[in-house]
């Protein structure tokens, strides 16, 4: 193999958009909001209670499929973030 080529990127975010400070006040962050803001983050997207990680993964793949990007693939790489378990 001579190299690796990445042909399509897609993402899906949780439907609830909150400012970092709101999420911090609700105890939903693992990092200090000031640290996240210094790194360029402002918003925190979280899933609605009815949504699952599978729903987000399916939405991201559907985005690629809509562009006819699934015709000739060797791998789908899936990445997620930490979930909050309460």
- Specify the range with the lowest mean pLDDT, choosing from 32-41, 61-70, 71-80: 71-80
Confidence at residue 76, expressed as pLDDT on a 0 to 100 scale: 81
Asked whether the predicted pLDDT for residue 64 surpasses 80, the reply is yes
Domain coordinates in residue numbering, the chain: 1-86
pTM: 0.68
SS3 of residue 66 by DSSP: helix
Question: How would residue 16 be classed by pLDDT, with cut points 50, 70 and 90?
Answer: very high
**How far apart, in Å, are the Cα atoms of 35 and each of 3, 4, 60, 71, 83?**
36, 33, 28, 41, 19
Q: Which helix (H) or strand (E) holds 8?
A: none
């Amino acid at each position: 193999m001579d190299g690796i080529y990445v042909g399509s990127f897609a993402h899906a975010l949780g439907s609830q958009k909150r400012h970092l400070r709101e999420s911090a006040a609700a105890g939903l962050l693992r990092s200090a909001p000031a640290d996240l803001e210094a790194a360029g983050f402002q918003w925190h997207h979280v899933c609605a209670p009815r949504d699952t990680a599978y729903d987000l993964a399916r939405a991201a793949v559907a985005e690629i499929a809509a562009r006819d990007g699934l015709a000739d693939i060797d791998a789908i790489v899936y990445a997620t973030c930490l979930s909050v378990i309460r």
